[in-house]
């Protein structure tokens, strides 16, 4: 993603939440990366205090990434009544 214009498509309170979202994007074929200031992983609370773990994608992938990350509404679930 070197040289690409990156946009934030989500911010998460914990690294595992951000990793799950990143995995969903990668499964959909969208390159993503996580930006957080956690002092090299030693102080995760610093990342939370500075806006969380931010999930970044290329600007041209923003719309598709937001669609992947959009929560499923109860009436959209498969097999829902």
Helix or strand run (H / E) with residue 43: none
Residue 25 has a pLDDT of 97
Count Cβ atoms within 10 A of the Cβ of residue 17 and give its class: 0-12 exposed, 13-18 middle, 19 or more buried. Answer: middle
- CATH 3.30.70 is held by the domain 6-70: yes
Cα of 45 vs its chain's centroid, Å: 18
pTM of the model: 0.75
pLDDT tens-digit profile of 21-30?
999 999 999 9
Cα of 16 vs its chain's centroid, Å: 11
Highest mean pLDDT among 11-20, 36-45, 61-70: 61-70
Per-domain residue ranges of the chain: 6-70
What is each CA distance from 63 to 7, 14, 31, 52, in whole angstroms? 11, 23, 13, 21
């Amino acid at each position: 993603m070197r040289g690409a214009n990156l946009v934030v498509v989500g911010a998460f309170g914990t690294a595992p939440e951000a990793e799950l979202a990143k995995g969903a994007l990668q499964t959909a074929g969208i390159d993503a990366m996580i930006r957080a200031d956690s002092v090299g992983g030693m102080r995760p609370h610093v990342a939370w205090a500075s806006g969380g773990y931010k999930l970044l994608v290329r600007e041209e992938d923003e719309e598709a990434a937001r669609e992947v990350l959009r929560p499923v509404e109860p009436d959209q679930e498969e097999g829902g009544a």
